Amino acid sequence: MMGGMAGLEGVEQPRPRSSAAAARWSTATDDEQAFKELELFGNPTEEEVRLPSRPQSAATARRITSCVMLRQWQLPPQTAEHGVLLVSELVGNAVRHTGARVFGLRMLRRRGWVRIEVRDPSRGLPCLMPVREMDVSGRGIFLVDKLSDRWGVDLLPRGKTTWFEMRTTDR
């Protein structure tokens, strides 16, 4: 199991998987739960999904992201795995560092690109910190920087949107 992710201590984290294992990542139970959550909260590809700012919401955001990337967009398992991990990091930051009651999740796709956004009411900017091998927290933005093709923060009149983009191979 990976070390803790910022703001998600005590919450089950995704485990590193081989590409073969990534293809089996979403079990029927996970899919069923994700479909229920999509019905309850909405589809982040159609409009921003608002989730309660609690550590448990990271699991919800991961399941929704996985379902959209694998089932709806039919992206390769490794792309989905990276997207799920990075969503978990951004959600962890929103839950841990902003004091918000809710945060927003939005997923956009255009030819050759996927963009995932997490919006919160804080104007505090995330920091890209140097990471040492034995660090167990503070790796979130480092991972976003390493696994995404682009990332950034858009300041809003009330809050910010932290986003990342990944290249995709369209079928």
Tell me if 12 is assigned to some domain: no
Give dist(CA 5, CA 111) in Å, integer: 31
Query: What local confidence, expressed as pLDDT, does residue 99 receive?
Result: 82
Predicted local confidence at residue 170, as pLDDT: 65
Q: For residue 57, give its domain range.
A: 29-167
Is 45 domain-assigned? yes
| pLDDT value of residue 75 | 95
Q: Does some domain include residue 9?
A: no
Instruction: Give the span between the Cα atoms of 73 and 171, in whole angstroms.
Output: 10
Beta bridge partners of 153: 162
Residue 1 DSSP label: -
Distances (CA, A) of 97 to 37, 55, 58, 104, 122: 24, 12, 14, 15, 8
For residue 16, how many other CB atoms are within 10 A of its CB? 10
Q: How far apart are CA 114 and CA 120, in angstroms?
A: 20
Q: How much is the pLDDT for 165? A: 98
- Would residue 5 count as lying in a domain? no
| Residue ranges in the chain whose pLDDT is less than 50 | 1-26
**Residue 116 included in any domain:** yes
pLDDT attached to residue 171: 58
Domain count, the chain: 1
Residue pair 81/25 in contact (Cβ under 8 Å)? The answer is yes
Decide if 72 is inside a domain: yes
Residue 19 domain-assigned (yes or no): no
**2 assigned to some structural domain:** no
User: What CATH code is carried by the domain that includes residue 128?
Assistant: 3.30.565.10
Question: What is the rounded (10 degree) CA torsion for 74, 80, 86, 90?
Answer: 40
